[in-house]
Amino acid sequence: MIRKWSTSIVRAGRSVGRSSAPVTYTLIALCCLAFLAGPASGLNPAYGTGDELLAVQRAYFRRWGVIPAELFEGSARPALTPATALFVHGSWVHLLGNMLFLYVFGAMAEERMGRVQFTLFYVGCGYLALLGYAVANAGSEQSLVGASGAISAVLGAFLYLFPRARVTSLLPFLFFLPVRFPAWVVLPFWAALQWLAAGRATDGPRVAYLAHLIGFALGFGYASVRYGRPTGPTRVKAAPAPAPEGENQP
């Protein structure tokens, strides 16, 4: 059994290494493994159940997530949390939504940027997006976790690099029928929804829409400065209309 598992892991590693977007797939794998190993998945009975599990989850999010009120105290550990929070997710929906967006848009962005540059871009923009949210909510004691700031940066860069790419979207108000629109229609529409939601979220929202907006702006700005003219039309795999999530955990 152990030999079979080790063989499967080696084959998966070789497959990722030969793919055109190994960093994207590695990030997805790391986020999934961190979620499955942590208490948020609810799969490990060692974390307990009921109130005991909730207490463990809160402690887990406070340890690895961003707590704005503690971020600027001057100690080293809180300063690292905008990086660790990128690999922590609060629920199955949170994880799967974010990973779907990263899978759909990350591969093409990575191919255009290159592996090393894409890695630095993803982590750097994700860190700054969470940091920006913390600055705007400096008194908050809630834990902020999730890769949505970094993934929003990928969306922003994708919009600049591939504005005419055809994106298949599943829109709720059209009964989730698949429709195809160019990226310059879909992604600004998504950003506008984040802007409207952020304007209404005045009572401590569970979704950090501001981090989405900061990440999106950073990604688009970076791509516009770093790269030349956008590429021609292409096709992108299906992605749902709802945005990647960034949850504030209690």
Coil, helix or strand at residue 49: coil
Contact 75, 90 (CB under 8 A): no
Q: What is the DSSP letter of 66?
A: B
Q: At a CB cut-off of 8 Å and minimum separation 6, what does 97 contact?
A: 240, 242, 244, 245
Instruction: Name the catalytic one among 89, 140, 152, 212.
Output: 212
Choosing from 148, 152, 169, 224, which is the catalytic residue? 148
Do residues 105 and 160 make contact, with C-beta atoms less than 8 angstroms apart? no
Between CA 21 and CA 28 the distance in angstroms is 11
Angle, helix 183-200 to helix 148-161, in steps of 10 degrees:
140
Q: How far apart, in whole angstroms, are the C-alpha atoms of residue 85 and residue 215?
A: 14
Nearest Cα neighbor of 62 from 246, 207, 249 is 249
User: Does 212 participate in catalysis according to the annotation?
Assistant: yes
Could you tell me which residues come within 8 angstroms of residue 16 by beta carbon, excluding any fewer than 6 positions away? 22, 25, 26, 29
Could you say which DSSP state residue 73 is in? Answer: S
Q: Where are the alpha helices (DSSP H) in the chain?
A: 2-18, 22-37, 50-64, 68-71, 76-84, 92-113, 115-136, 148-161, 183-200, 209-226
Residue 152 annotated to the active site:
no
Question: Which are the catalytic amino acids?
Answer: 148, 212
